[in-house]
A and B are shown apart, each in its own frame.
Chain A
Amino acid sequence: MKWLSDDKLNYLRTVVTNPDFGSTKYTFIKELGRGGMGTVYLAEDRELNRLVAIKVLNTPDITEDLRNRMVREAQIIARLEHPGIVPVHDVGTLPDGRVFYAMKFVRGSRLDEYAAVNDSIRDRLRKFQAVCDAVAFAHSHGVIHRDLKPQNIMIGSFGEVLVLDWGVAKILRHGDGEMGRHGDYPPVPASPHLRVSFDTNAGTIIGTRDYMSPEQARGEIDQLDERADVYSLGAVLHFLLKDQPKPGRAAEAICLKAKADAKENRYSSASELSADIGRLLDAEPVSAYRENAIEKASRWVSKNRFLVLLVLAYLLMRIFFVFTSRP
């Protein structure tokens, strides 16, 4: 009897474990990430000669229901055509019956990795605003993400911001574009941090604990709307601000308003939150914080620093002349 070497055993294990893309136009390269139900692989599109990320369902027992869910997820993302939402290129079925969809392969780092090496509050706020804009776009199409967190946000090599993992997204209504039928698309989770259930009946908890709204944590699926994502965005903002020595009262107030326990007290939409972040970046008053006269003056001075310096220089020069021209 001849024993197989470890290398050969590993190879055989890989062949058995990894999906067979043989019947497709993709060539398997490596595994990128594995979640509760789905695994994302790096593959090469042989026709277009480019790298793609392919998401394949893990479950070996493929039912019609599972297949439909995966296709729906692909359809949700495919119809959200926005620079801040990772585009879906293709959807198909593997020889073993599992559904897969191919997405743009995003080169870059996750928001948490980006924040670890970039401590500029302005840069972080700009990226956060781009996330809000992408989420606002999805909301305008009647889709809520339900699992926004730094690990699901990618910063590309050129600074572009992409919201990933729409596996537990929910369709609230028909948006600007036609999005299929009304109702809740059952989730197809992909992140290892998810606490999910396939059924989205009342009482089911979907999302990630630290980033989910109180109503989401209570499993009040029917109560979820855009403001659940606003809460998660607030939690993402909190993550971006927590290591800043002086984030500023206005930034903290925005964070608190977005993360309010009662959804009635939050921003009514992601675009409203984005607008407040824009005002913060432009040194303008934000809706979440009522500033006093001193803060107002200090904000104006900081915004018009150069003009203030010029006027001060002028006044100093006048004072100088007053004293030097005295007999």
Chain B
Amino acid sequence: MSKPLIGVILGAILGVIDGLTAWFTPAVRDQLGGIVIGSTLKGIIAGIAIGFFAKKFHSLPIGIVFGLLVGAFLAWLVAFMQGGYYFEIILPGTLVGLIVGFATQKYGNTPAAANS
């Protein structure tokens, strides 16, 4: 499995879990579908970016930091558009980025170096 694909799958799964937790907040329960779609898309975008980064750069610490930054940035964007819940959105989003960053560095096929 390629690194971007691992990123997409993991990002999507965590994004779905992330979105579904909105069910526990009665105030936004009626918008659950939109929230799940939005957080899944966010996870997929983060997964693609982090996966392609892992394909180019093979370093666990750098991959984790990159994932963390991408996750934090996308989560901040969502919180900014919502106009609130910064802590509740940014912290999980950052952790999702960290997990995807770690997983894409550790797992997945690394393309063989081309012969010069």
Cβ contacts under 8 Å, B96 to chain A: 314
CB closest residue in chain B, given A314: B95
In the complex, per-residue mask of A283-327: 1 if CB is within 8 Å of any chain B CB, else 0: 000000000000000000000001100110111011001100111
In the assembled complex, the Cα of A327 lies from the Cα of B25 at a distance in Å of 9
- Contact at B21–A321, with CB atoms within 8 Å? yes
Q: Please, how many angstroms separate the alpha-carbon atoms of A308 and B99 in the complex?
A: 10
Closest 10 CB pairs of A and B: A322-B24, A310-B99, A314-B95, A318-B21, A321-B88, A322-B21, A325-B25, A307-B103, A317-B92, A314-B99
Q: A307-B106, A318-B92 are in contact. List 9 more A-B contacts (CB 8 A).
A: A307-B103, A310-B98, A314-B92, A314-B95, A317-B92, A318-B18, A321-B21, A322-B25, A326-B25
Q: Is the CB of A314 within 8 A of B14?
A: yes
Interface size class of B (residues with CB under 8 A): 10 to 19
A99 to chain B, nearest CB (A): 50
- Give the number of residues in A that approach B within 8 Å (Cβ atoms): 14
Distance from A83 Cβ to chain B, minimum over Cβ atoms (Å):
26
**Residues of B bordering A, CB below 8 Å:** 14, 17-18, 21, 24-26, 88, 91-92, 95-96, 98-99, 102-103, 106
Nearest B residue to A310 via CB reads B99
Q: Which residues of A contact B (CB under 8 A)?
A: 306-307, 310-311, 313-315, 317-318, 321-322, 325-327
Q: How long is the Cα–Cα vector from A149 to B84 in the complex, in angstroms?
A: 70
Q: In the complex, A317 Cα to B17 Cα: how many Å?
A: 12
